[in-house]
Amino acid sequence: MFARLRSDVQCILDRDPAARSTWEVLTCYPGLHALVLHRRAHWFWNHGFKWLGRFTSHVARWFTGIEIHPGAKIGERVFFDHAMGVVVGETAEIGDGCTIYQGVTLGGTSLYKGTKRHPTLGRDVVVSAGAKVLGGFLVGDGAKIGSNAVVIKPVPAGATAVGIPARIIASSSGASADTTPERKFTAYGVTQEDDPLSLAMRGLIDTASSQEHQIALLWQAVATLSEQREGHAACVPQDAARAESFEAERLTQLINR
């Protein structure tokens, strides 16, 4: 028991730069309090004391603002950071080393009892502020869920899911979660580097700008050859775009606002 508590405290000291001492973590971190009370509630639940388990989880919710069903399974070194308003459903499973931020829901989309209704998080998963993970599927090891994302399908290991509904951004070059650059992910808001729609739009703008540049060069070459042979550019249409007019920079600025 005390070894597990020491592990919980140490993981908070390792991941939260605002944590200054063990005493501060023990007395002022509701995420830790919620975990300790959940383990007691989970023990009651698994040993047939269903009401007592629910009552313990209700007391924990009242004290911490974190609602964890006593049937949920939570691994070691899990950190509920801030975590006010977090809801964890009955059949949810949270793997070792996960980090859960405030306003997260690990919820279900089915009302059938006895079925796997809530998600399973693998090891070292990060679920950012306000995210909703809904359904009995797997979020792979090292995956990241962007803030306010609504995830309704499995997330591969090492991938990032952002948006409503969430879209999957695979880890670059098949890299593991440990080698994925942290600058491309934020737990409190979706940046331009996280949003696949912004990335796609910028890619389309760059492609269109490049193609217009190539077309302008071709028309200029045709006009030059025509002038050399005939003394004028008769074979070049009047509306041929020999100058670039595509406002790539302005469009990129609109996306980045």
Predicted confidence (pLDDT) per residue in 75-94, tens digit? 999 999 988 999 999 999 99
Report pLDDT for 29: 92
pLDDT classification of 225: cutoffs 50, 70, 90: confident
The whole-model pTM stands at: 0.69
Over residues 224-245, the mean pLDDT reads 64
Give dist(CA 203, CA 2) in Å, integer.
Answer: 53
- The tokens describing 10, both together, are 């140490």
Answer for the pair 109, 128: CB distance below 8 angstroms, yes or no.
no
Amino acid found at 157? A
pLDDT classification of 221: cutoffs 50, 70, 90: confident
Answer for the pair 78, 86: CB distance below 8 angstroms, yes or no.
no
pLDDT single digits (tens) 45-59 = 999 999 999 999 999
Over residues 69-80, the mean pLDDT reads 93
φ, ψ of residue 18 in degrees (nearest 5): -80, -15
Over residues 133-137, the mean pLDDT reads 93
**What's the mean pLDDT when you consider all of the chain?**
82
- Choose the weakest-confidence range: 37-41, 126-130, 149-153, 214-218: 214-218
Report pLDDT for 119: 95
Most confident range, picked from 2-11, 147-156, 224-233: 147-156
- The tokens describing 114, both together, are 């006895």
CA-based nearest residue to 30, from 43, 14, 12, 51 = 12
H or E stretch at 208: helix 196-230
Q: How far is CA 62 from CA 12, 18, 57, 199, in A?
A: 22, 24, 9, 42
Helix (H, G, I), strand (E, B) or coil at 106: strand
pLDDT higher for 37 or 243?
37
Please, what is the Cα angle at 38 between 34 and 40, to 5 degrees? Answer: 125
pLDDT higher for 142 or 237?
142
